[in-house]
Amino acid sequence: MTLVDDLAAAVGAANVLTGAEAAPYGVDWMRHYHGRPLAVVRPGSTAEVAACVRVAAAQGVPVVPICGNTGLVGGTMTEGGLMVSLERMNRIRDLRPDARLVVAEAGVILQRLHEAAEEKGLYFPLWFGARGSAMLGGALSTNAGGSNVLRYGSTRGLCLGLEVVLADGRVLNLMSELHKDNSGYDLKQMFIGAEGTLGIITAAVMKLVPLPLAHATAMVSAASLPKALHLLNRMQEATGGRVEAFEFMPRSYSERLREVRPDLGLPFDHIPEVTILIEAATTVAAEGRPDATGEVPLVATLETVLAGMLDEGLIDDAVLARNEDQRAVMWSRREAAAQICVGLEPVVECDVCVPVDRVDAFLTHALARLQALNPGFREITVAHLGDGNLHFSVYPTRDDATLKDAVMDTVEDVVAGLGGSFSAEHGIGLSKLPSMRRRKDPVALDVMRAVKAALDPEGRMNPGKVIPPR
């Protein structure tokens, strides 16, 4: 088989997998997608990625990049394509504390970036549950979000420079380290969030930020979302924007959490309608080091805000993390989200975004309309409330493709009516193609097709993803 031979010549036979060795790459971690790649190749450098892409181009074979395989939308699914795994491109090429940046390859696992930054007193602010296996290239290709977007922005906002292998095997070098660089079109933006459909991201220059000296973390119960939202506003006002995370766990989530992970406990003796996890952080000594009374001023600020809200009846209860262990337990409850949902079938995963003050309206309308559509459906929601981003998983009563599509359509409809988006941070892949077709501005879809055709005229880069066919 020429393809395998040519690939072996490019990267070494040990790095070309076929058959049973290749099979695991064909299945996403949620086990919703099952594909059979023609082969999996594991290049170890940008030049090797380019060589593999040229081999594929010569043979007219589709190319599908894969990093940590933690995606949720079938973005790496392929039947007969060549998978290019970036796992061996795992070098941190440079980390410059004074410039507050790291230059890393696509296969570096996010947690390694966290650790490398922390050693230098810095923080890499892309933070989500899968950080122990998700890789930088995948995060960039999906413009991943996570729990700290509120303060530090999405992956896109953290990226200064990019290196990309194009469909024809040429290397596009956009590895700027500058905060201002207006030298023509900002091409890196096209590849961020393009899920490998325009080229393969092989490395990036990413911003780092100062490592917080201290966190103030609490779990809070409230009777309603509008009441709970005051907490975000008040804490932002009191700290001048030091809130890093504002996460929402509704009753349905807490109930499921208690079922699946009883070991984690629950913060309150009852399950409230609204549970909030709030975290603020500071890099300033005067705010983050214990004062004369032994208290950390940032924690005291959070306590004061919470006490005021308790007095006013805006919240019902609150528990502050008094040490790192307590903080870790609070985060475990939030980050169990994937684990407590995995295996529940049939499922329609909705990753939607609405304006922050319309999250409550979204839930009210969506639940009512789904109840009418499919009485008895279940739902588990967890949300980056500070961004208006809900992970809204719907479990219809039967595994029926028409019903599942109707569920998605209904959710989209509610979202659209509130000025929201049907896709917030997980990407499009295969699972959101119907939504793209139904909801995206047709002119925008046409422009996407034009860009795709310009950069990948043969349509071989991760074909069939992101853009629905005409």
Work out how close the CB of 23 gets to a second copy at its nearest, in angstroms, rounded to a whole number.
Answer: 29
Q: Which is nearer to a second copy, 342 or 450 (CB)?
A: 450
Q: Which is nearer to a second copy, 328 or 444 (CB)?
A: 444
Q: How long, in residues, is the chain?
A: 470
Find out whether 394 and 403 touch, Cβ atoms under 8 Å. no
Helix (H, G, I), strand (E, B) or coil at 164: strand
Q: Which is nearer to a second copy, 316 or 387 (CB)?
A: 387
Q: Which is nearer to a second copy, 65 or 193 (CB)?
A: 193
Work out how close the CB of 369 gets to a second copy at its nearest, in angstroms, rounded to a whole number.
Answer: 21
Buried b (16+ CB within 10 A) or exposed e, 33-69: bebebbbbbbbbebebbbbbbbbbbeeebbbbbbbbb
Q: Which 8-state DSSP code applies to residue 273?
A: S
Work out how close the CB of 214 gets to a second copy at its nearest, in angstroms, rounded to a whole number.
Answer: 11
Name the burial class of residue 324, with classes exposed (0-12), middle (13-18) and buried (19+) by CB atoms within 10 angstroms of its CB.
exposed
Q: What's the rounded Cα separation, in Å, for the pair 340 and 433? A: 26
Q: Enter the tokens of residue 322.
A: 């008094």
Work out how close the CB of 36 gets to a second copy at its nearest, in angstroms, rounded to a whole number.
Answer: 27
Work out how close the CB of 5 gets to a second copy at its nearest, in angstroms, rounded to a whole number.
Answer: 28
Work out how close the CB of 349 gets to a second copy at its nearest, in angstroms, rounded to a whole number.
Answer: 14
Work out how close the CB of 243 gets to a second copy at its nearest, in angstroms, rounded to a whole number.
Answer: 13
Q: What's the rounded Cα separation, in Å, for the pair 282 and 355? A: 27
User: H or E segment at 280?
Assistant: strand 274-282
Q: Which is nearer to a second copy, 138 or 272 (CB)?
A: 138
Q: What's the rounded Cα separation, in Å, for the pair 306 and 320? A: 10
Q: Enter the tokens of residue 444.
A: 């925008």
Q: Which is nearer to a second copy, 263 or 441 (CB)?
A: 441
Q: Which is nearer to a second copy, 279 or 387 (CB)?
A: 387
Q: Which is nearer to a second copy, 17 or 359 (CB)?
A: 359
Q: Please report the DSSP string for 303-343 in residue order.
A: HHHHHHHHHTTS-SEEEE--SHHHHHHHHHHHHTHHHHHTT
Work out how close the CB of 182 gets to a second copy at its nearest, in angstroms, rounded to a whole number.
Answer: 5
Q: Please report the DSSP string for 338-395 in residue order.
A: HHHHTT--S-EEEEEE--GGGHHHHHHHHHHHHHHHSTT-EEEEEEEGGGTEEEEEEE
**Nearest to 164, CA basis, from 155, 174, 154, 156:** 174
